[in-house]
Amino acid sequence: MTEQIHEIVRERYAAAATQAATGRGACCGPEEGIGAGLYSALEQAELPDAAVLASLGCGNPTAVAELRVGDRVLDLGSGGGIDVLLSAKRVGPTGRAIGLDMTDEMLALAQRNAAQAGATNVEFLKGTIEAVPLPADSVDVVISNCVVNLAADKPAVFREIARVLKPGGRIGITDIVAEDALTPEQRAERGSYVGCIAGALSFSEFESGLREVGLAGVSLTSTHAVADGMHSVIVKATKPVDAAPWTPPVRDELPVTSAGCGCGGGCC
Identify the pLDDT of residue 224: 87
Identify the pLDDT of residue 166: 97
Assess contact for 141 and 61: CB atoms under 8 A. Answer: no
Q: How far is CA 223 from CA 90, 228, 234, in A?
A: 23, 14, 7
Amino acid at 218: V
Q: Is residue 254 part of a domain?
A: no
Q: Is residue 266 part of a domain?
A: no
Q: Is residue 77 part of a domain?
A: yes
Assess contact for 96 and 121: CB atoms under 8 A. Answer: yes
Query: Element (H or E) spanning 137, and its range?
Result: none
Please report, for the domain that includes residue 8, its CATH number.
3.40.50.150
Helices (H), the chain: 2-21, 41-45, 49-53, 82-91, 104-117, 154-164, 184-189, 203-212
Identify the pLDDT of residue 13: 52
- Which of the residues in the chain have pLDDT under 50? 17-18, 20-37, 39-42, 44-45, 47-55, 193-194, 251-268
Identify the pLDDT of residue 164: 98
Q: Is residue 255 part of a domain?
A: no
Prediction pTM value: 0.77
Quote the number of domains for the chain: 1
Q: Is residue 246 part of a domain?
A: no
Identify the pLDDT of residue 198: 63
Assess contact for 162 and 240: CB atoms under 8 A. Answer: no
Which domain does 87 fall in, by range?
2-238
Q: Is residue 17 part of a domain?
A: yes
Identify the pLDDT of residue 253: 39
Q: Is residue 261 part of a domain?
A: no
